[in-house]
Chain A
Amino acid sequence: MTSTPPSSADTPTAVTTRSGWGRRLVDSLSRYGFVIVFFAFVVFFAVRADAFLNPSNLVNILEGNAVLLIAALAMTLVVASGGIDLSIGIAIDFGGWFAIIAMRDYNLTWASALLVGLLAGAAVGTLNAALVVRLKISPFLATLGTFFIGSSVQQIYTSGGGQVPFREMSESFRSLSTGAVLGIPTEIVLAGTVGLLYFVLLERSVHGKRIHAIGLQRSVASVSGIRVSGYLVFVFIFASATVALSGIILTAGLRQFTPLSGFSYLLDSIAAVFIGASMHPQRRPNVAGTLVGVLFLGVVSNGLNLMGLDFNLRDALEGIILVGALALAFTNRNNRAAEVSI
């Protein structure tokens, strides 16, 4: 444990100054170590579970993880700006909850209900933005506070977490989850659209560059004329509105809202973002990496499921595989992985 010499801990420049194709091969192998581990799992499941490579199962994996992908993309944006959002579960819940209330109690059309849900998510983001930008609370604690408040609000108005069913929801709203566009399930289309939007925003626009700059060095970004507060307000509101969409998809699929159900997406989306960040040359959160992270979590969960293992054993294996895959993919890398600073 103590044998690591201090000098090897922080040598981010060493990678670029090395020469020789052999070294470069090793570098890129270790950089894509996680992808290799990922494919090893795909091959393993394909051999061990016959149904795994069926096209219908692959579509299943994509569809089953569309909601997580949307949440993880929003998390990518927040982490890229140097923050973290622990309240995404609340925005997921509020999105679905308000959409259902809008249709059931106010008889709004499905499109207006969708808008109401997105606005409810944006409201959660506005609170986060106000806390972080105006009151200068660190994003971790601000969004933790939002989480406590949001959970409590749900418990108060659902008598401690009672479900809010709406069996008679219109077919159009329901098709947000169950429908298909040109034969592709709507969930995948929605997640793909959000993914494309985030890719253009974060990786291909000047705004994305500025958001990354804020995440890397906030004071430097500010000095170089970037409107840091404005961007942070945008990031928190936009991210929360995005995850509200995944909440709406969830309620559309289940035809009911289950309070506090969004929390289960928090840890998975953080894991996906950091898996993705570790594949980036500068260890930055990025859209493509997040997609790989989400797919990895989805494939492992699906594959273990198909192997017909005991429910409890499956949970244990999922966790152990996550630890093992991360360890395998990151060993032999000199610099500390995922240098995302807040």
Chain B
Amino acid sequence: MTATTVETRRFAAAAPALRLLLARFPLLVFALLFVYMALGSEFFLEWRNISSILRQSAPDAILAAGLAVVVTAGGDDIVSGGIDISLPAAATLGVGILSDQLVNGRPFVLAMLLAAAAVVAVGLLNAVLVVKVGLTPLLATLASWVAVIGTTKWVINNRRITVDHQFISNVRDGTVLNVPIPAVFALAVLIVFSFWIHRTRFGHRLQASGGNRSAAEISGLNPDYFLARSFVMASLAAVVATLVLTARSSGLSPGIEERLLLDMVLATFVGAAFSFRRVVTVPGAMLGAVLVKALGSGFQLLNVDIFKVGMVKGVLILIVVASAALEAGQRR
């Protein structure tokens, strides 16, 4: 304990250059890793690889954007603040319904509307459980996770559904100006959500009620209203993720939701390390999703054992988060 205090003091006294280095440490770690990968494999920086990374990371990035909105509105205290762990489950339910309906010959627009309705219903359920019933977001979304996963299994009988549909294949393989279509969807979510949260009066109030609940209440805002809205906004992101996910795996593969959950949470909170104030933001969360995916792809190109990629991910979050915590500690 005393060793840390001495160390922290030494850090505080250190030159501003060192402090800047520490503040930018998470980005630096990523940059160094990417340089290493680019040197190790010339394919890494080729557009074909980059566009494949963007294509693969789009669903995670879109879900992370949704989670970032809920965390912004509810506060970044994970146990009592805003969190929505049911997002991957909602998206998986959407994928199941969309795939099932398309296979049964339903027109795309109708199938997508059905899937969207189910996904938004999950968002509304979360909002009701948290604001009306009074459960903490973690407990409420945990319960709806269990319910939605179960419902998905029941609705689609827990089977793999392969979709062979022109529109879905177009989303999977198509590009706009050389940018893969899933990435275009992710970009659209980024622009809409960033504008919504950072450039509108509604967004500023939503940030205020998440930043300090009591202060927001005293200033006449109703934090519950913004929290409820954030769950619905997040479910809209899950609707977009539904389409992109269906394209990514050409239908539904049962059991994708657990991997999605971990990657979404990882991306969102690692993304906080990229923001100036070390808070969860929409762009940070989405950048986090892309960078984590890029690392996985880079290690694969370098022929690193696929089982070790999880280890690298774990160590990485810890480095990024620890440096953020260390920096926050010495700023105080």
Contact = CB atoms under 8 A, between A and B. Distances in A.
B288 to A, nearest CB: 12
A19 interface: no
Interface stretch (A60-68, A130-138, A177-185, A201-209): A130-138
Contacts of B4: 134
B222 A318 contact: no
Given A9-B224, A315-B149, A270 B134 contact: no
B13 interface: no
A148 interface: yes
A326 B135 contact: yes
A326 B133 contact: yes
A84 B78 contact: yes
B135 A337 contact: yes
B321 A323 contact: no
Nearest to A215: B79
Interface string A318-342: 1110110011001101111111111
A135 B326 contact: yes
A337 B150 contact: no
Interface string A239-270: 00000000000000000000000010001001
A15 B243 CA distance: 47
B122 to A, nearest CB: 11
A314 B151 CA distance: 9
Given A136-B329, A319-B146, A319-B147, A331 B322 contact: no
Given A9-B223, A149-B314, A333-B134, A141 B150 contact: no
Given A1-B228, A323-B125, A318 B146 contact: yes
Contact of A149 (B127, B153, B315, B329): B315
B154 A312 contact: yes
B157 interface: yes
A327 B151 contact: no
B12 interface: no
A338 B129 CA distance: 13
Nearest to A158: B307
B135 A148 contact: no
Given A1-B127, A4-B224, A316 B151 contact: yes
B145 interface: yes
Interface residues of A, number: 66
B322 A6 contact: no
Interface string B120-164: 000001011101111110111011111111110111011000000
Nearest to A160: B307
Interface in A107-165: 131, 134-138, 140-142, 144-153, 155-156, 160
A145 B322 CA distance: 11
Contacts of B150: 312, 314-320
Contact of B139 (A82, A147, A326): A326
A129 to B, nearest CB: 13
Interface string A274-286: 1100100000000
Contacts of A50: none
B303 to A, nearest CB: 15
Contacts of A305: none
B144 A229 contact: no
B160 to A, nearest CB: 14
A148 B80 contact: no
List the 4 closest pairs (A to B, CB-CB), nearest first. Answer: A148-B314, A319-B147, A152-B310, A152-B311
Given A135-B325, A326-B140, A338-B135, 4 more contacts: A82-B79, A131-B322, A137-B322, A270-B142
7 contacts: A1-B131, A153-B311, A267-B142, A271-B142, A314-B150, A330-B135, A342-B77
